[in-house]
Chains A and B, each alone.
Chain A
Amino acid sequence: MPEAVPQNGGYMIAAYVVAAVILISYAVSLYLRTRRTLRP
């Protein structure tokens, strides 16, 4: 009898959200830092 596929979707969502947050935060940080440098 085949094992049921483990129900761990929550972790998947968490990881995808965390990765997106990190990448988008960094992109925003670059944008803001550059803007601050361009208009002292």
Chain B
Amino acid sequence: MRMLRVGRWITALALLLLAGVYVRALAFTPVERLQGLAQKIFYLHVPAAIWAESAMVFVGLASVFYLFMKDPRLDRFASASAEVGTVFAAIVLTTGPIWGKPIWGTWWSWDARLTFTLFLFLLYVGYLLLRGAVADPATRARYAAVLGICGMCLVPFVHFSVYMFRTLHPMPIVLKPSAPSLPGSMLATWLFSFAVFTLLYVGFVTQRYALSYLREQLEAAAGDAGMGHA
């Protein structure tokens, strides 16, 4: 299947380039003086966070279009984006505390971004669980779309709550983990990493989409075979 092949090639390329990001970030990017080496986690954490959130937006949009057009391709894409979004959210939720511990002194501090990502992660998990719990493909697609749209509409409210919560509970830190302005070399590393994460998103979603399609083909074939014996 061509989409699968394309997806695999893109993913392979992205992983190779990721190794390049690692080398560049670890060995060829200057160390940030105030935070030390731990600051370099930023080059993985922030691109992952951007894609974890963007994936949710794509799930929401695909869900809206699906309910109008009922095109199964949109449903396949939504499901793929949700699964990949979960993976990226997991990266944010693991690298975040690892970065937080040396900088803030605690593993978890209800920082606005991490809390927001936790919400996102739980929305993704709910979405995937709902999909897993409904057997009929058409019903599954509709229900998932309903949840996807609700999730997308919840996001602005969560943003507000999380940032409101933060102003009520000041963070026990003085340093902020995101540099306000990046000197050239650091910016280049960040952009390189962001490009690679974008490629990873595309490669993963393409493969996951292909997997959905292949599974549907398999179920359809099994259905036909069953009918033949009826």
Touch A–B, Cβ below 8 Å: yes
Interface positions of A (Cβ within 8 A of B): 5-9, 11-12, 14-16, 18-20, 22-24, 26-27, 30-31, 33-34, 37-38, 40
Q: How far is the CA of A22 from the CA of B75 in the complex (A)?
A: 25
CB distance from B50 to the nearest CB of A (A): 14
For A38, the closest partner residue in chain B by CB is B214
B26-49, CB under 8 A of A: which get 1 and which 0? 100001010111101100110010
Q: How far is the CA of A5 from the CA of B38 in the complex (A)?
A: 11
B207 part of interface (Cβ distance < 8 Å): yes
Q: How far is the CA of A18 from the CA of B22 in the complex (A)?
A: 13
Q: By DSSP majority rule, is chain A's interface helix, strand, loop, or mixed?
A: helix
Contacting residues of chain B (90-118) with chain A, CB-CB under 8 angstroms: 90-91, 94-95, 98-99, 101-102
For B84, the closest partner residue in chain A by CB is A26
Please give, as numbers and ranges, the residues of chain A lying within 8 Å of B25 by CB-CB distance: 16
Please give, as numbers and ranges, the residues of chain A lying within 8 Å of B41 by CB-CB distance: 11-12, 15-16
Interface positions of B (Cβ within 8 A of A): 4, 8, 11, 15, 18, 22, 25-26, 31, 33, 35-38, 40-41, 44-45, 48, 87, 90-91, 94-95, 98-99, 101-102, 200, 204, 207-208, 210-211, 214-215, 218
Please give, as numbers and ranges, the residues of chain B lying within 8 Å of A12 by CB-CB distance: 26, 37-38, 40-41
CB distance from A13 to the nearest CB of B (A): 9
Q: How far is the CA of A18 from the CA of B48 in the complex (A)?
A: 13
Please give, as numbers and ranges, the residues of chain A lying within 8 Å of B94 by CB-CB distance: 15, 18-19, 22
Known contacts: A8-B102, A16-B41, A23-B18. The answer to whether A30 contacts B36 by CB under 8 A is no
Q: How far is the CA of A27 from the CA of B26 in the complex (A)?
A: 23
**Contact between A5 and B91, CB atoms less than 8 A apart:** no
For A5, the closest partner residue in chain B by CB is B36
Q: How far is the CA of A12 from the CA of B98 in the complex (A)?
A: 8
**Contact between B98 and A15, CB atoms less than 8 A apart:** yes
CB distance from B158 to the nearest CB of A (A): 23
**Contact between A34 and B87, CB atoms less than 8 A apart:** no
**Contact between B44 and A16, CB atoms less than 8 A apart:** yes
Q: How far is the CA of A38 from the CA of B33 in the complex (A)?
A: 52
Please give, as numbers and ranges, the residues of chain A lying within 8 Å of B218 by CB-CB distance: 37, 40
Given contacts A16-B26, A40-B218, 15 further A-B contacts (CB under 8 A): A6-B36, A8-B38, A9-B37, A15-B44, A16-B22, A16-B25, A18-B98, A20-B22, A22-B87, A23-B15, A23-B91, A23-B200, A27-B15, A30-B11, A30-B207
